[in-house]
Chains A and B, each alone.
Chain A
């Protein structure tokens, strides 16, 4: 069974940093593109970042570019999101999602999704 389990969320103050992790199992992690998508409380979905299976291609939403860094460790079946200079508007549940296509990273194909981890940025 494919499983994605996020961790690392919590309460931080504006300007602080946080690192999210996503542990993958049940599939060959190194052959799939991976993504982060977030959802602010009571709001819709917002794509955050995508990384190709070989890390050759990385994309960020404008809202996080320069502050967030996506990375992966194929040996450990793990995806990470380093979040720096956090703002109140970054408060959201952050979902890790596998890319549906093992080849093309530039698509909005997310399947499956993890259960999410809540990040709260507040003073």
Chain B
């Protein structure tokens, strides 16, 4: 059972907009930034969003993040087939004194 809660799966058709949610508590999302990672099949995770809504250079603006209270979400617009991956949210938990991840959401592009 992960400290951060994500839906196990999500799907959409090419060009569509999809949203992945991440739910936490006051000790993690409620008091720290959320980060999002993309893991393509067979590869290492890659940072997608940092500090709630910032995109690293090279990440398309089709990806956006937001956070409100103890919940966060990742939105992907203009869905493409190469967006098929597992997406993880993460945050620092002050009660655990460590980083925590969501269980991951497998995105399928139909």
Contacts and interface: CB of A to CB of B under 8 A. Distances in A.
Given A44-B2, A44-B88, A45-B37, A108 B44 contact: no
Secondary structure dominating the interface of A:
strand
Secondary structure dominating the interface of B:
strand
A95 B88 contact: no
A46 interface: yes
B100 interface: yes
Interface stretch (A7-15, A56-64, A80-88): A56-64
A111 B103 contact: no
Interface centre among A35, A50, A100, by most B CB within 10 Å?
Answer: A100
**Chain A, interface residues (CB within 8 Å), range:** 20 to 34
Interface of B: 2, 32-35, 37, 39, 44-47, 50-51, 56, 86, 88, 90-92, 94, 96-104
Interface of A: 35, 37, 44-47, 50, 59-62, 95, 100, 106-116
